[in-house]
Protein backbone atom coordinates (compact mmCIF):
# COMPACT_ATOMS: atom_id res chain seq x y z
CA UNK A 1 0.00 0.00 0.00
CA UNK A 2 1.50 3.40 -0.87
CA UNK A 3 2.64 5.40 2.15
CA UNK A 4 0.77 8.43 0.96
CA UNK A 5 -2.57 6.61 1.24
CA UNK A 6 -1.81 5.33 4.78
CA UNK A 7 -0.77 8.82 5.86
CA UNK A 8 -3.93 10.28 4.31
CA UNK A 9 -6.18 7.81 6.24
CA UNK A 10 -4.35 8.48 9.55
CA UNK A 11 -4.41 12.15 8.78
CA UNK A 12 -8.16 12.35 8.05
CA UNK A 13 -9.32 10.08 10.92
CA UNK A 14 -7.02 11.94 13.34
CA UNK A 15 -8.40 15.21 12.09
CA UNK A 16 -12.00 13.99 12.44
CA UNK A 17 -11.26 12.77 16.00
CA UNK A 18 -9.70 16.10 16.94
CA UNK A 19 -12.69 18.01 15.56
CA UNK A 20 -15.15 15.75 17.41
CA UNK A 21 -13.16 16.33 20.62
CA UNK A 22 -13.16 20.03 19.96
CA UNK A 23 -16.92 20.14 19.34
CA UNK A 24 -17.69 18.03 22.44
CA UNK A 25 -15.62 20.15 24.76
CA UNK A 26 -16.90 23.36 23.15
CA UNK A 27 -20.43 22.22 23.97
CA UNK A 28 -19.47 21.62 27.58
CA UNK A 29 -17.48 24.86 27.66
CA UNK A 30 -20.54 26.86 26.58
CA UNK A 31 -22.77 25.18 29.18
CA UNK A 32 -24.04 28.03 31.44
CA UNK A 33 -23.98 25.64 34.43
CA UNK A 34 -20.15 25.65 34.40
CA UNK A 35 -19.09 28.96 35.92
CA UNK A 36 -16.16 30.82 34.36
CA UNK A 37 -12.96 30.74 36.37
CA UNK A 38 -13.44 27.26 37.82
CA UNK A 39 -10.92 24.42 37.37
CA UNK A 40 -13.36 22.57 35.11
CA UNK A 41 -13.61 25.64 32.90
CA UNK A 42 -9.79 25.80 32.51
CA UNK A 43 -9.58 22.07 31.94
CA UNK A 44 -12.08 22.30 29.11
CA UNK A 45 -10.20 25.26 27.61
CA UNK A 46 -6.98 23.19 27.68
CA UNK A 47 -8.48 20.09 26.04
CA UNK A 48 -10.22 22.19 23.44
CA UNK A 49 -7.07 24.07 22.44
CA UNK A 50 -5.06 20.83 22.44
CA UNK A 51 -7.59 19.27 20.03
CA UNK A 52 -7.48 22.39 17.87
CA UNK A 53 -3.67 22.35 17.78
CA UNK A 54 -3.62 18.74 16.66
CA UNK A 55 -6.23 19.43 14.04
CA UNK A 56 -4.08 22.27 12.71
CA UNK A 57 -0.95 20.11 12.82
CA UNK A 58 -2.68 17.33 10.93
CA UNK A 59 -3.78 19.80 8.27
CA UNK A 60 -0.12 20.59 7.46
CA UNK A 61 0.76 19.10 4.07
CA UNK A 62 4.38 18.59 5.22
CA UNK A 63 3.11 16.08 7.82
CA UNK A 64 1.57 14.03 5.06
CA UNK A 65 4.80 14.29 3.02
CA UNK A 66 6.83 13.13 6.05
CA UNK A 67 9.14 16.05 5.56
CA UNK A 68 10.61 18.56 7.99
CA UNK A 69 8.45 21.57 8.71
CA UNK A 70 9.17 23.89 11.66
CA UNK A 71 5.48 24.97 11.65
CA UNK A 72 4.45 21.39 12.33
CA UNK A 73 6.81 21.11 15.33
CA UNK A 74 5.68 24.47 16.59
CA UNK A 75 2.08 23.28 16.56
CA UNK A 76 3.01 20.02 18.37
CA UNK A 77 4.76 22.14 21.03
CA UNK A 78 1.67 24.34 21.32
CA UNK A 79 -0.42 21.14 21.64
CA UNK A 80 1.90 19.83 24.38
CA UNK A 81 1.72 23.13 26.23
CA UNK A 82 -2.05 22.83 26.22
CA UNK A 83 -1.78 19.22 27.41
CA UNK A 84 0.40 20.39 30.30
CA UNK A 85 -1.92 23.33 31.00
CA UNK A 86 -4.95 21.04 30.92
CA UNK A 87 -3.19 18.44 33.12
CA UNK A 88 -2.37 21.13 35.62
CA UNK A 89 -6.03 22.03 35.72
CA UNK A 90 -6.90 18.36 35.97
CA UNK A 91 -4.64 18.14 39.00
CA UNK A 92 -6.38 21.23 40.39
CA UNK A 93 -9.68 19.56 39.71
CA UNK A 94 -8.59 16.42 41.56
CA UNK A 95 -7.58 18.56 44.53
CA UNK A 96 -10.91 20.23 44.40
CA UNK A 97 -12.72 16.89 44.40
CA UNK A 98 -10.67 15.78 47.37
CA UNK A 99 -11.44 18.96 49.27
CA UNK A 100 -15.15 18.64 48.40
CA UNK A 101 -15.31 15.02 49.58
CA UNK A 102 -13.56 16.01 52.84
CA UNK A 103 -16.10 18.82 53.30
CA UNK A 104 -18.92 16.38 52.58
CA UNK A 105 -17.59 13.98 55.23
CA UNK A 106 -17.45 16.81 57.78
CA UNK A 107 -20.96 17.99 56.89
CA UNK A 108 -22.34 14.46 57.15
CA UNK A 109 -20.76 14.07 60.59
CA UNK A 110 -22.25 17.45 61.68
CA UNK A 111 -25.63 16.41 60.33
CA UNK A 112 -25.49 13.09 62.19
CA UNK A 113 -24.60 14.96 65.39
CA UNK A 114 -27.49 17.42 64.78
CA UNK A 115 -29.95 14.56 64.12
CA UNK A 116 -28.90 12.79 67.32
CA UNK A 117 -29.31 16.08 69.22
CA UNK A 118 -32.79 16.68 67.69
CA UNK A 119 -33.81 13.14 68.58
CA UNK A 120 -32.74 13.65 72.18
CA UNK A 121 -34.62 16.97 72.32
CA UNK A 122 -37.80 15.39 70.87
CA UNK A 123 -37.51 12.44 73.26
CA UNK A 124 -37.15 14.80 76.19
CA UNK A 125 -40.35 16.74 75.33
CA UNK A 126 -42.71 16.27 78.27
CA UNK A 127 -45.72 15.72 75.98
CA UNK A 128 -46.53 12.74 73.83
CA UNK A 129 -45.23 13.57 70.34
CA UNK A 130 -45.76 11.62 67.14
CA UNK A 131 -45.42 12.34 63.46
CA UNK A 132 -47.11 10.65 60.53
CA UNK A 133 -46.41 10.78 56.82
CA UNK A 134 -49.02 11.70 54.22
CA UNK A 135 -50.37 8.12 54.23
CA UNK A 136 -50.97 8.28 57.98
CA UNK A 137 -48.05 5.96 58.84
CA UNK A 138 -46.08 6.68 62.00
CA UNK A 139 -42.62 8.09 61.28
CA UNK A 140 -41.77 9.44 64.72
CA UNK A 141 -42.74 8.48 68.24
CA UNK A 142 -41.05 10.09 71.23
CA UNK A 143 -40.28 8.73 74.70
CA UNK A 144 -43.35 10.30 76.31
CA UNK A 145 -45.57 8.74 73.60
CA UNK A 146 -44.06 5.36 74.51
CA UNK A 147 -44.86 5.97 78.18
CA UNK A 148 -48.38 7.31 77.60
CA UNK A 149 -49.50 4.79 74.98
CA UNK A 150 -47.52 1.74 76.09
CA UNK A 151 -46.03 1.05 72.63
CA UNK A 152 -42.29 0.89 71.86
CA UNK A 153 -41.10 3.06 68.96
CA UNK A 154 -39.80 0.01 67.06
CA UNK A 155 -43.26 -1.58 67.26
CA UNK A 156 -45.10 1.37 65.74
CA UNK A 157 -42.79 2.87 63.11
CA UNK A 158 -44.29 2.49 59.65
CA UNK A 159 -47.65 1.32 61.05
CA UNK A 160 -51.00 3.05 60.50
CA UNK A 161 -51.71 5.49 63.34
CA UNK A 162 -55.43 4.61 63.35
CA UNK A 163 -54.66 0.93 63.96
CA UNK A 164 -52.10 1.57 66.66
CA UNK A 165 -53.91 4.32 68.60
CA UNK A 166 -57.70 4.16 68.22
CA UNK A 167 -59.60 7.32 69.20
CA UNK A 168 -62.98 7.45 70.92
CA UNK A 169 -65.73 9.95 71.55
CA UNK A 170 -65.63 10.04 75.30
CA UNK A 171 -63.99 7.31 77.35
CA UNK A 172 -66.91 4.92 77.01
CA UNK A 173 -68.14 6.15 73.65
CA UNK A 174 -67.98 5.11 70.01
CA UNK A 175 -64.79 4.87 68.00
CA UNK A 176 -64.01 7.99 65.96
CA UNK A 177 -64.03 7.15 62.21
CA UNK A 178 -60.67 7.64 60.45
CA UNK A 179 -61.73 10.69 58.43
CA UNK A 180 -62.82 12.47 61.63
CA UNK A 181 -59.57 11.79 63.53
CA UNK A 182 -57.64 15.05 64.15
CA UNK A 183 -54.41 13.86 62.37
CA UNK A 184 -56.40 13.08 59.24
CA UNK A 185 -58.33 16.35 59.37
CA UNK A 186 -54.92 18.10 59.56
CA UNK A 187 -53.64 16.06 56.58
CA UNK A 188 -56.79 16.81 54.56
CA UNK A 189 -57.25 20.48 55.35
CA UNK A 190 -53.68 21.63 55.98
CA UNK A 191 -54.91 23.38 59.11
CA UNK A 192 -53.96 22.97 62.76
CA UNK A 193 -56.53 20.91 64.66
CA UNK A 194 -56.76 21.63 68.38
CA UNK A 195 -58.17 19.06 70.76
CA UNK A 196 -59.55 20.42 73.97
CA UNK A 197 -60.92 17.79 76.29
CA UNK A 198 -63.58 20.20 77.66
CA UNK A 199 -65.12 20.71 74.24
CA UNK A 200 -64.21 17.59 72.26
CA UNK A 201 -64.38 14.92 75.04
CA UNK A 202 -61.91 12.89 73.03
CA UNK A 203 -60.00 9.89 74.33
CA UNK A 204 -57.28 7.53 73.06
CA UNK A 205 -56.63 3.85 73.68
CA UNK A 206 -53.36 2.52 75.11
CA UNK A 207 -51.70 -0.73 74.02
CA UNK A 208 -53.26 -2.49 77.04
CA UNK A 209 -56.79 -1.46 75.96
CA UNK A 210 -57.34 1.21 78.64
CA UNK A 211 -58.54 4.66 77.51
CA UNK A 212 -57.61 8.11 78.72
CA UNK A 213 -58.89 11.62 77.94
CA UNK A 214 -56.62 13.81 75.78
CA UNK A 215 -55.94 17.44 74.99
CA UNK A 216 -53.44 18.68 72.42
CA UNK A 217 -53.05 19.63 68.79
CA UNK A 218 -52.11 18.24 65.41
CA UNK A 219 -50.17 20.43 62.98
CA UNK A 220 -49.75 19.63 59.28
CA UNK A 221 -46.18 19.49 57.90
CA UNK A 222 -46.13 21.55 54.71
CA UNK A 223 -43.13 21.32 52.35
CA UNK A 224 -43.01 23.46 49.20
CA UNK A 225 -46.76 24.06 49.50
CA UNK A 226 -47.53 20.32 49.76
CA UNK A 227 -48.85 18.54 52.87
CA UNK A 228 -46.33 15.78 53.54
CA UNK A 229 -47.38 14.70 57.02
CA UNK A 230 -48.55 15.87 60.42
CA UNK A 231 -47.16 16.24 63.93
CA UNK A 232 -49.32 15.56 66.96
CA UNK A 233 -48.66 16.73 70.49
CA UNK A 234 -50.97 15.18 73.10
CA UNK A 235 -51.20 15.07 76.84
CA UNK A 236 -53.20 13.05 79.30
CA UNK A 237 -56.17 15.25 80.30
CA UNK A 238 -57.23 13.09 83.28
CA UNK A 239 -56.44 15.94 85.69
CA UNK A 240 -58.55 18.41 83.66
CA UNK A 241 -61.34 15.85 83.58
CA UNK A 242 -61.21 15.29 87.35
CA UNK A 243 -61.21 19.04 88.00
CA UNK A 244 -64.19 19.46 85.68
CA UNK A 245 -66.01 16.69 87.54
CA UNK A 246 -65.33 18.33 90.89
CA UNK A 247 -66.62 21.66 89.50
CA UNK A 248 -69.79 20.08 88.08
CA UNK A 249 -70.43 18.24 91.34
CA UNK A 250 -69.93 21.45 93.28
CA UNK A 251 -72.39 23.35 91.05
CA UNK A 252 -74.87 20.51 91.42
CA UNK A 253 -74.51 20.41 95.19
CA UNK A 254 -74.72 24.20 95.57
CA UNK A 255 -77.79 24.35 93.31
CA UNK A 256 -79.52 21.63 95.33
CA UNK A 257 -78.74 23.45 98.56
CA UNK A 258 -80.06 26.73 97.11
CA UNK A 259 -83.30 25.17 95.97
CA UNK A 260 -84.76 24.52 99.45
CA UNK A 261 -84.44 28.08 100.87
CA UNK A 262 -85.70 29.49 97.55
CA UNK A 263 -88.79 27.31 97.70
CA UNK A 264 -89.38 28.53 101.26
CA UNK A 265 -89.05 32.19 100.19
CA UNK A 266 -91.49 31.60 97.32
CA UNK A 267 -94.00 29.88 99.60
CA UNK A 268 -93.98 32.60 102.19
CA UNK A 269 -94.18 35.33 99.54
CA UNK A 270 -97.17 33.52 98.00
CA UNK A 271 -98.83 33.28 101.41
CA UNK A 272 -98.22 36.93 102.17
CA UNK A 273 -99.70 37.94 98.80
CA UNK A 274 -102.70 35.68 99.41
CA UNK A 275 -103.35 37.60 102.66
CA UNK A 276 -102.66 34.57 104.89
CA UNK A 277 -100.93 36.86 107.36
CA UNK A 278 -103.47 39.65 107.10
CA UNK A 279 -104.14 42.27 104.43
CA UNK A 280 -101.09 44.05 103.01
CA UNK A 281 -101.09 47.72 102.10
CA UNK A 282 -100.12 48.82 98.57
CA UNK A 283 -96.44 49.43 99.43
CA UNK A 284 -96.14 46.08 101.24
CA UNK A 285 -97.77 44.26 98.28
CA UNK A 286 -95.33 45.96 95.88
CA UNK A 287 -92.33 44.91 97.99
CA UNK A 288 -93.51 41.30 98.42
CA UNK A 289 -94.17 41.03 94.66
CA UNK A 290 -90.59 42.19 93.98
CA UNK A 291 -89.37 39.58 96.45
CA UNK A 292 -91.50 36.93 94.80
CA UNK A 293 -90.23 37.75 91.28
CA UNK A 294 -86.62 37.86 92.41
CA UNK A 295 -86.94 34.47 94.09
CA UNK A 296 -88.56 33.07 90.91
CA UNK A 297 -85.73 34.32 88.72
CA UNK A 298 -83.25 32.74 91.07
CA UNK A 299 -85.17 29.44 91.02
CA UNK A 300 -84.98 29.48 87.23
CA UNK A 301 -81.22 30.00 87.32
CA UNK A 302 -80.77 27.27 89.91
CA UNK A 303 -82.83 24.85 87.84
CA UNK A 304 -80.83 25.65 84.70
CA UNK A 305 -77.59 25.14 86.60
CA UNK A 306 -78.88 21.82 87.87
CA UNK A 307 -79.82 20.79 84.33
CA UNK A 308 -76.35 21.70 83.09
CA UNK A 309 -74.70 19.63 85.81
CA UNK A 310 -77.09 16.71 85.19
CA UNK A 311 -76.24 16.73 81.49
CA UNK A 312 -72.51 17.01 82.21
CA UNK A 313 -72.49 14.32 84.87
CA UNK A 314 -74.37 12.03 82.49
CA UNK A 315 -76.74 11.15 85.31
CA UNK A 316 -79.89 11.73 83.27
CA UNK A 317 -82.62 9.21 82.83
CA UNK A 318 -83.27 8.94 79.10
CA UNK A 319 -86.55 7.34 78.11
CA UNK A 320 -87.06 7.44 74.35
CA UNK A 321 -90.61 6.92 73.08
CA UNK A 322 -92.40 7.68 69.79
CA UNK A 323 -93.09 11.41 70.00
CA UNK A 324 -95.23 13.73 67.92
CA UNK A 325 -93.03 16.84 67.61
CA UNK A 326 -95.87 18.93 66.11
CA UNK A 327 -97.92 18.26 69.22
CA UNK A 328 -95.03 19.33 71.46
CA UNK A 329 -94.68 22.58 69.45
CA UNK A 330 -98.42 23.34 69.57
CA UNK A 331 -98.45 22.71 73.31
CA UNK A 332 -95.50 25.05 73.84
CA UNK A 333 -97.09 27.71 71.65
CA UNK A 334 -100.27 27.44 73.73
CA UNK A 335 -98.25 27.79 76.92
CA UNK A 336 -96.57 30.97 75.62
CA UNK A 337 -99.84 32.49 74.38
CA UNK A 338 -100.17 35.09 77.18
CA UNK A 339 -96.76 36.61 76.34
CA UNK A 340 -97.29 36.30 72.58
CA UNK A 341 -100.56 38.21 72.72
CA UNK A 342 -99.21 40.58 75.42
CA UNK A 343 -96.43 41.61 72.98
CA UNK A 344 -98.85 41.57 69.99
CA UNK A 345 -96.58 39.10 68.17
CA UNK A 346 -97.78 37.24 65.12
CA UNK A 347 -96.92 33.56 65.60
CA UNK A 348 -97.34 31.17 62.65
CA UNK A 349 -96.97 27.43 62.98
CA UNK A 350 -96.65 25.56 59.69
CA UNK A 351 -96.26 21.84 59.37
CA UNK A 352 -96.01 19.46 56.45
CA UNK A 353 -98.42 16.55 56.40
CA UNK A 354 -97.31 13.03 57.28
CA UNK A 355 -94.57 14.00 59.71
CA UNK A 356 -93.08 10.84 61.26
CA UNK A 357 -93.02 10.30 65.01
CA UNK A 358 -89.52 10.56 66.45
CA UNK A 359 -88.12 8.07 68.91
CA UNK A 360 -86.79 10.63 71.39
CA UNK A 361 -87.06 11.47 75.05
CA UNK A 362 -90.09 13.80 74.84
CA UNK A 363 -89.31 15.67 78.03
CA UNK A 364 -85.72 16.43 77.03
CA UNK A 365 -86.53 17.52 73.48
CA UNK A 366 -89.45 19.59 74.76
CA UNK A 367 -86.98 21.46 77.01
CA UNK A 368 -84.68 22.11 74.02
CA UNK A 369 -87.49 23.41 71.75
CA UNK A 370 -88.92 25.43 74.63
CA UNK A 371 -85.59 27.19 75.15
CA UNK A 372 -85.34 28.13 71.47
CA UNK A 373 -89.01 29.17 71.14
CA UNK A 374 -89.00 31.22 74.32
CA UNK A 375 -85.88 33.05 73.05
CA UNK A 376 -87.69 33.97 69.83
CA UNK A 377 -90.59 35.35 71.88
CA UNK A 378 -88.33 37.09 74.40
CA UNK A 379 -85.94 38.69 71.91
CA UNK A 380 -88.55 39.95 69.43
CA UNK A 381 -89.93 43.42 70.20
CA UNK A 382 -93.65 44.19 70.27
CA UNK A 383 -95.52 43.71 66.99
CA UNK A 384 -92.85 41.36 65.54
CA UNK A 385 -93.31 38.10 63.66
CA UNK A 386 -92.36 34.56 64.60
CA UNK A 387 -92.67 31.53 62.34
CA UNK A 388 -92.21 27.89 63.30
CA UNK A 389 -92.14 25.35 60.51
CA UNK A 390 -91.83 21.58 60.60
CA UNK A 391 -90.64 19.76 57.48
CA UNK A 392 -90.30 16.12 56.60
CA UNK A 393 -86.78 14.94 55.77
CA UNK A 394 -85.67 11.49 54.51
CA UNK A 395 -84.52 10.39 57.96
CA UNK A 396 -86.29 12.74 60.33
CA UNK A 397 -87.71 16.21 60.79
CA UNK A 398 -86.38 19.74 60.34
CA UNK A 399 -87.69 22.41 62.67
CA UNK A 400 -87.06 26.09 61.86
CA UNK A 401 -87.93 28.94 64.20
CA UNK A 402 -87.47 32.40 62.73
CA UNK A 403 -88.17 35.80 64.25
CA UNK A 404 -87.90 39.45 63.31
CA UNK A 405 -86.21 40.35 66.58
CA UNK A 406 -83.02 41.98 67.84
CA UNK A 407 -80.70 39.42 66.27
CA UNK A 408 -77.28 38.37 67.52
CA UNK A 409 -74.23 40.59 66.78
CA UNK A 410 -72.06 38.95 64.11
CA UNK A 411 -68.87 39.14 66.19
CA UNK A 412 -70.55 37.27 69.08
CA UNK A 413 -72.20 34.53 67.06
CA UNK A 414 -69.42 31.97 67.66
CA UNK A 415 -70.18 32.00 71.39
CA UNK A 416 -73.94 31.49 71.20
CA UNK A 417 -73.93 27.86 72.40
CA UNK A 418 -71.40 28.40 75.18
CA UNK A 419 -72.39 28.54 78.85
CA UNK A 420 -73.53 31.89 80.28
CA UNK A 421 -73.43 33.72 76.94
CA UNK A 422 -75.75 36.72 76.68
CA UNK A 423 -75.68 39.02 73.64
CA UNK A 424 -74.43 42.54 74.31
CA UNK A 425 -77.29 44.00 72.26
CA UNK A 426 -80.00 42.56 74.53
CA UNK A 427 -78.41 43.13 77.94
CA UNK A 428 -80.35 46.32 78.65
CA UNK A 429 -83.45 45.33 76.65
CA UNK A 430 -84.10 41.96 78.32
CA UNK A 431 -82.52 41.83 81.73
CA UNK A 432 -83.85 38.38 82.55
CA UNK A 433 -81.91 35.41 81.26
CA UNK A 434 -79.31 32.94 82.41
CA UNK A 435 -77.32 32.35 79.23
CA UNK A 436 -77.78 28.61 79.73
CA UNK A 437 -80.86 27.89 77.60
CA UNK A 438 -79.08 27.35 74.28
CA UNK A 439 -76.22 25.42 75.88
CA UNK A 440 -78.81 23.01 77.32
CA UNK A 441 -80.74 22.90 74.02
CA UNK A 442 -77.61 22.03 72.05
CA UNK A 443 -76.54 19.35 74.54
CA UNK A 444 -79.99 17.71 74.29
CA UNK A 445 -80.11 17.88 70.49
CA UNK A 446 -76.57 16.49 70.21
CA UNK A 447 -77.53 13.63 72.52
CA UNK A 448 -80.59 12.95 70.37
CA UNK A 449 -78.39 12.62 67.28
CA UNK A 450 -79.62 15.90 65.81
CA UNK A 451 -78.02 19.18 64.77
CA UNK A 452 -78.69 22.79 65.69
CA UNK A 453 -77.45 25.89 63.83
CA UNK A 454 -78.65 29.40 63.18
CA UNK A 455 -78.48 32.51 61.02
CA UNK A 456 -78.87 35.94 62.50
CA UNK A 457 -78.57 39.59 61.60
CA UNK A 458 -78.65 42.31 64.16
CA UNK A 459 -81.93 44.26 64.15
CA UNK A 460 -83.32 42.06 61.36
CA UNK A 461 -83.96 38.70 63.01
CA UNK A 462 -82.77 35.21 63.76
CA UNK A 463 -83.58 31.73 62.48
CA UNK A 464 -82.68 28.63 64.47
CA UNK A 465 -82.63 25.34 62.57
CA UNK A 466 -82.93 21.99 64.30
CA UNK A 467 -82.73 18.64 62.56
CA UNK A 468 -83.80 15.55 64.48
CA UNK A 469 -83.48 11.94 63.30
CA UNK A 470 -86.38 9.50 63.61
CA UNK A 471 -84.31 7.29 65.84
CA UNK A 472 -80.92 7.63 67.44
CA UNK A 473 -80.96 8.07 71.18
CA UNK A 474 -80.55 5.00 73.39
CA UNK A 475 -82.38 4.54 76.69
CA UNK A 476 -80.19 5.33 79.69
CA UNK A 477 -80.78 4.49 83.32
CA UNK A 478 -79.78 7.56 85.28
CA UNK A 479 -80.45 8.92 88.70
CA UNK A 480 -82.21 12.15 87.75
CA UNK A 481 -84.27 14.04 85.15
CA UNK A 482 -84.22 17.53 83.67
CA UNK A 483 -86.24 19.98 85.72
CA UNK A 484 -89.82 20.50 84.55
CA UNK A 485 -90.47 24.16 83.96
CA UNK A 486 -92.60 26.48 82.01
CA UNK A 487 -89.81 28.69 80.61
CA UNK A 488 -90.59 32.35 80.41
CA UNK A 489 -94.05 31.87 81.90
CA UNK A 490 -92.61 30.35 85.04
P1 LIG B 1 -80.88 33.50 77.82
O2 LIG B 1 -81.37 32.98 79.12
O3 LIG B 1 -80.04 34.72 77.98
O4 LIG B 1 -81.95 33.69 76.83
P5 LIG B 1 -79.87 31.51 76.03
O6 LIG B 1 -78.75 30.55 76.20
O7 LIG B 1 -81.19 30.96 75.75
O8 LIG B 1 -79.86 32.41 77.32
O9 LIG B 1 -79.47 32.49 74.87
C10 LIG B 1 -78.16 33.06 74.88
C11 LIG B 1 -78.16 34.40 74.21
O12 LIG B 1 -78.33 34.24 72.80
C13 LIG B 1 -79.26 35.31 74.62
O14 LIG B 1 -78.95 36.01 75.81
C15 LIG B 1 -79.35 36.24 73.40
O16 LIG B 1 -78.34 37.24 73.46
C17 LIG B 1 -79.01 35.33 72.24
N18 LIG B 1 -80.23 34.83 71.57
C19 LIG B 1 -80.72 33.59 71.63
N20 LIG B 1 -81.81 33.46 70.85
C21 LIG B 1 -82.01 34.67 70.27
C22 LIG B 1 -82.97 35.19 69.35
N23 LIG B 1 -83.95 34.44 68.85
N24 LIG B 1 -82.82 36.48 68.97
C25 LIG B 1 -81.84 37.24 69.44
N26 LIG B 1 -80.90 36.81 70.31
C27 LIG B 1 -80.99 35.55 70.73
Is the pLDDT higher at 297 or at 54? 297
Q: Kind and range of the H or E element at 133?
A: strand 128-133
277 and 387 in a single domain? The answer is no
Q: Is 307 within a domain?
A: yes
277 and 230 in a single domain? The answer is no
Each residue's pLDDT tens digit, 242-287: 998 898 889 888 888 998 899 999 999 999 999 999 999 999 999 9
Predicted local confidence at residue 93, as pLDDT: 65
Predicted local confidence at residue 97, as pLDDT: 77
Q: Is 115 within a domain?
A: no
Question: Does residue 194 carry a pLDDT above 80?
Answer: yes
The response to whether residue 419 sits with its C-beta less than 6 Å from ligand 1 reads: no
Q: Is 63 within a domain?
A: yes
Q: Is 110 within a domain?
A: no
Predicted local confidence at residue 76, as pLDDT: 63
Rounded CA-CA distance 455/416 in Å is 11
Q: Which atom of ligand 1 is nearest to the CA of 405?
A: 24
252 and 212 in a single domain? The answer is no
Predicted local confidence at residue 338, as pLDDT: 94
30 and 85 in a single domain? The answer is yes
260 and 231 in a single domain? The answer is no
326 and 464 in a single domain? The answer is yes
pTM of the shown model: 0.63
The response to whether residue 436 sits with its C-beta less than 6 Å from ligand 1 reads: yes
Q: Which atom of ligand 1 is nearest to the CA of 401?
A: 23
Tell the burial category of 6 from Cβ atoms under 10 Å away from its Cβ (0-12, 13-18, 19+).
exposed
Question: Does residue 193 carry a pLDDT above 60?
Answer: yes
Q: Percent of the chain, pLDDT > 70?
A: 87
Question: Does residue 489 carry a pLDDT above 50?
Answer: no
Predicted local confidence at residue 392, as pLDDT: 94
Is the pLDDT higher at 73 or at 309? 309
For residue 457, the CA-to-ligand 1 centroid distance in Å is 13
For residue 453, the CA-to-ligand 1 centroid distance in Å is 13
CATH code for position 366: 3.30.565.10
Strands 193-195 and 202-205: what pairing? unpaired
Find the mean pLDDT for residues 190-204: 89
Query: What is the domain count for the chain?
Result: 4
Q: Whose CA is nearest to atom 14 of ligand 1?
A: 422
pLDDT band at 207 (very low <50, low <70, confident <90, very high): very high
The response to whether residue 437 sits with its C-beta less than 6 Å from ligand 1 reads: yes
pLDDT band at 488 (very low <50, low <70, confident <90, very high): very low
Predicted local confidence at residue 186, as pLDDT: 95
**Mean pLDDT lowest among 142-146, 155-159, 250-254:** 250-254
Find the mean pLDDT for residues 79-108: 74
Closest CA to 434 of 445, 422, 424, 444: 422
Q: Kind and range of the H or E element at 403?
A: strand 396-403
The response to whether residue 434 sits with its C-beta less than 6 Å from ligand 1 reads: yes
The response to whether residue 405 sits with its C-beta less than 6 Å from ligand 1 reads: yes
Domain that holds residue 263: 242-312
Question: Does residue 347 carry a pLDDT above 90?
Answer: yes
261 and 397 in a single domain? The answer is no
Each residue's pLDDT tens digit, 53-90: 777 767 665 555 555 456 656 666 666 676 666 666 66
The response to whether residue 438 sits with its C-beta less than 6 Å from ligand 1 reads: yes
372 and 451 in a single domain? The answer is yes
372 and 461 in a single domain? The answer is yes
Q: Is 480 within a domain?
A: no
Rounded to whole angstroms, what are the CA distances from 267 to 19, 281, 401? 118, 19, 36
Q: Percent of the chain, pLDDT > 90?
A: 53
Q: Is 68 within a domain?
A: yes
Compute the C-alpha angle 271/275/281, nearest 5°: 120
Q: Is 112 within a domain?
A: no
For residue 375, the CA-to-ligand 1 centroid distance in Å is 6
Count of Cβ atoms closer than 10 Å to residue 474 Cβ: 9
249 and 217 in a single domain? The answer is no
Q: Is 161 within a domain?
A: yes
Rounded CA-CA distance 371/440 in Å is 8
CATH code for position 190: 3.30.450.20
The response to whether residue 441 sits with its C-beta less than 6 Å from ligand 1 reads: no
Break the chain down into helix, strand, coil percent, rounded to 5: 55, 20, 25
The response to whether residue 43 sits with its C-beta less than 6 Å from ligand 1 reads: no
Last residue of a domain, one of 83, 99, 115: 99
Strands 346-351 and 385-393: what pairing? parallel
28 and 138 in a single domain? The answer is no
Strands 138-141 and 167-169: what pairing? unpaired
Q: Where are the alpha helices (DSSP H) in 165-237?
A: 182-189, 197-200
Rounded CA-CA distance 34/277 in Å is 109
The response to whether residue 384 sits with its C-beta less than 6 Å from ligand 1 reads: no
Predicted local confidence at residue 454, as pLDDT: 97
Find the mean pLDDT for residues 213-217: 94
265 and 350 in a single domain? The answer is no
pLDDT band at 487 (very low <50, low <70, confident <90, very high): very low
Rounded to whole angstroms, what are the CA distances from 229 to 134, 187, 219, 265, 470? 4, 6, 9, 63, 40
Each residue's pLDDT tens digit, 379-430: 999 999 999 999 999 989 999 999 999 999 999 999 999 988 999 999 989 8
Amino acid sequence: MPFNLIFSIINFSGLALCLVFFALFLKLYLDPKIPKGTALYYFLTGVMLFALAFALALLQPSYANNGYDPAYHLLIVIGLIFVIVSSRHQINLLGMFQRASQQLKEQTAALTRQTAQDSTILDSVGECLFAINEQGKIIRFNGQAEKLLGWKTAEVLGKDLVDIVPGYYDENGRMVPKNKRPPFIALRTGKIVRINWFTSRYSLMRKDGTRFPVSGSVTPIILNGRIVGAIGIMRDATEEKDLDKIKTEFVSLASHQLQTPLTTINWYADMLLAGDAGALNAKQTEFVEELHQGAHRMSQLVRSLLDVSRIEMRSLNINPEPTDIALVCRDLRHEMEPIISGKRLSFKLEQETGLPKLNIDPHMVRTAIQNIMSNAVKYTPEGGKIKLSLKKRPRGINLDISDTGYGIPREQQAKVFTKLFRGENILNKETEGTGLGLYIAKAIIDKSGGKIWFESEENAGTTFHVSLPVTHIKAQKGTTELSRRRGILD
